[in-house]
Structure 1
Amino acid sequence: MAKTRPTDASVPEFLDAATPARRVDEGHRLDAIMREVTGVDAVMWGPSIVGYGTYHYVSPSTTSRTEGDWPKVGFSPRKSAISLYGLKDLPEGAALLPRLGEYTEGAGCVYVKRLEQIDEQVLRQLIRIAFARPDDPRH
């Protein structure tokens, strides 16, 4: 994660270029939901992640400690699935996640094939939980 940083790239242009075509609509819908819930505008993180807010993370590993900045919550409208970031990182989010709807999990994200297959109210709760995390866990 440490190599991915905020950029000045245009979020709307990135979302408009998503494929397949339904990802364009889903991306704009997710952006609207996340802006509404978080109260902040999106920033592109690297070439493909739309992020909201920032927090400083420190890995728990004692052998290969890494740290850096990462969006509190974000997504990427990828071809095969929408990747959602930050929703399962905190215990409250992990506990609520099973109520989201149809999804699969990766190491740090949640994959959704279609936005209509998930419960928008649960998604909004998950976004609120993720966005409420402290900016710097050391404080």
Structure 2
Amino acid sequence: MAENKTQATGASVEEFLAAVEHPVRRSDGLRLLALMSDITGEPAQMWGPTIVGFGRYHYKYASGREGDAAAVGFSPRKSGLSLYGLTYGPQAAELLGALGKHKTGAGCLYINKLDDVDDAVLAELIRLGYRHVTTELHHG
């Protein structure tokens, strides 16, 4: 079984975000850094070369594969923002309906820019997503 490609690294989150070429993605990345840090109370950490993650959880699949992943996180990509860990919680579907312009797929939430979405709904998705993977998954 392959090793999880996305491992926590010691790379600088600030240097990564400062190097994002697209000015809106860079600005949105800094806003997400502050928002996710505040909500989770966790320090930001690079996961792989392009994901800024907060907290961690251990997963184990029925296949026996297991590893660690960021509880929540984001990546400012050329095509938009990819947010991780926000679509799994029990209230996620309801909140996504009120979020604003977005797409979902493969466990990710895709947003073109933060101005397209409701800040309060996004904050609640982060709060619930973080709580879901760090506490609720371990009580099952």
| TM-score when normalising by structure 1 | 0.89
The letter for the 1-side match of 2:81 is I
Of the three residues 33, 36, 39, the one matched with 2:38 is: 36
- Aligned residue in 2 for 1:106: 105
In 2 relative to 1, CA 138–131 (structure 1 residues): closer, same or farther, beyond 3 Å? Answer: closer
Q: Secondary structure at the match of 1:6?
A: coil
Distance 1:65 1:100, change over 3 A: farther
**Would you identify which runs of 4 or more consecutive aligned residues in structure 1 move more than 4 Å?**
none
Aligned to 1:116: 115
Per-residue deviation, 1:45: 0.2
Q: In 2, Cα distance between the equivalents of 1:49 and 1:134? A: 17
Matching of residues 21-32 of structure 1 within 5 Å: 21-32=23-34
CA distance in 2, matches of 1:57, 1:138: 10
- More strand by percentage: 2
Q: Counterparts of 1:79-94 in structure 2 under 5 Å?
A: 79-94=78-93
Name the CA distance, whole Å, in 2 between partners of 1:94 and 1:20. 30
- Bigger fraction of residues in helix: 2
Contact 1:87/1:94 (<8 A) preserved: no
Task: Return the offset for 1:24.
Answer: 1.0
Structure 2 residue aligned with 1:51: 53
Q: May I ask how many residue pairs the two structures share in their alignment?
A: 136
Correspondence for 1:128: 127
Shift of 1:134: 4.9
Q: CA RMSD in A?
A: 1.7
Consecutive unaligned residues of structure 2, counting only runs of 5 or more, are none
| Residue pair 2:84, 2:108 contacting (<8 A) in 1 also | yes
For structure 1, the 5+ residue unaligned runs are none
**Structure 1 residues 138 and 36: CA distance shift in structure 2, 3 A:** closer
Equivalent position of 1:68 in the other structure: 67
Q: 1:81 deviation in Å?
A: 0.8
1:96 aligns to 2:98 (yes or no): no
Partner amino acid, structure 1, of 2:46:
M
Identity of aligned residues (%): 49
Which secondary structure state, in structure 1, belongs to the residue aligned with residue 15 of structure 2? Answer: helix
Any conservation in 2 of the 1:19–1:78 contact (CA below 8 Å)? no
